[in-house]
Amino acid sequence: MLTLRTIGKQVLQALDIFFFLASPLMILMFVISVIILLDYGGQHYNLVKTLQEQGVKAQAEVVDAPPTSLGIPVVFNQPDYGEQYLFIKVDYYSPGVIESLHAGDQVAILYLPEYNESRAVLADHFTDVKHWYGFAVEPLIMMLVACLAVIVHPEVLYIGYIRGDQIFKSEARLKS
């Protein structure tokens, strides 16, 4: 019992040291996650804006359902170019919308011919695309992990504002 408690204590101490040493990296990871979040958000915002301003509506046929890794392939006849394949990204829509699509179905799509995009969106469900915040999930998880690690040992954040002895004396006192 005593050995188990000692091992547990040592594991906790090792974790504590790990979090202390990792905290500067975690701060950087948090900043990078914020940058990624802003980048993803900006890209999505631009896509929605461009689709609203320059998107072309067309009637397409669903080639295959359930979706591939790229999305649901659809085919339609583009004036000047003939038959063209595009993919509908499934993340934007609720499972009900995706399940309702079957091979051979006719759907209204919105695409960007000017940008040579391989993606298209469902024109009837454009509000789902507009209000999609899925891009934020991964960066937010990274931010949360980094934030939790920094909360355990935030001392590095105070560098320059608090003298070293003010940080580490009180830390030592706490441990003793």
Partner 1 sequence: MTLEVFVLFLLGMALEVVWMWKAAHAQAQEKTVTASVAQMLSDNWIIQAGLVLLAGAAFGGVHLLGIDQVYTSLDDGPVFLLFTLIGLFILIEGLFGSHLMPPINERSVLSTQLLVAAGMLTGAMQLPSTVLWALGIFMLLLSLFLLLQRQSLPPIRKALVYAWYLALLLGLSVMNGDVVLFSARSLNFTSGFAFGVVFIFLLLHALFFIRFFLIVCSLILPRNRKFIGYMMPRLFNDEQVQPLPFMLITLGLTAAVWINSRLNLLPNALFISLCVLVSIQWQVRVSKVQSQI
Task: Catalog residues that contact partner 1 under the rule CB under 8 A.
Answer: 24, 27-28, 30-31, 34, 147, 150-152, 154-162, 166-167, 170, 174
Q: Cβ 138 to partner 1, closest distance in Å?
A: 18
User: What is the C-alpha separation between 146 and 140, in angstroms, rounded?
Assistant: 10
Query: Is the CB of 100 or the CB of 166 nearer to partner 1?
Result: 166
Closer of 25 and 70 to partner 1 (Cβ)? 25
Angle value at C-alpha 38, between 34 and 41, nearest 5 degrees: 135
Closer to partner 1 by CB, 14 or 28: give it: 28
* Least distance in angstroms from the C-beta of 31 to partner 1: 6
Q: Minimum Å distance from CB 66 to partner 1?
A: 36
The residues facing 133 across adjacent strands are none
Burial of 20 per CB tally in 10 Å (0-12, 13-18, 19+):
middle
* CB of 43 closer than 8 Å to CB of 89: no
Q: What are phi and psi of 153, to 5 degrees?
A: -135, 85
Closest separation in Å from C-beta 74 to partner 1: 33
**Which C-beta is closer to partner 1: that of 23 or that of 87?**
23
* Tokens 């591939």 belong to residue: 68
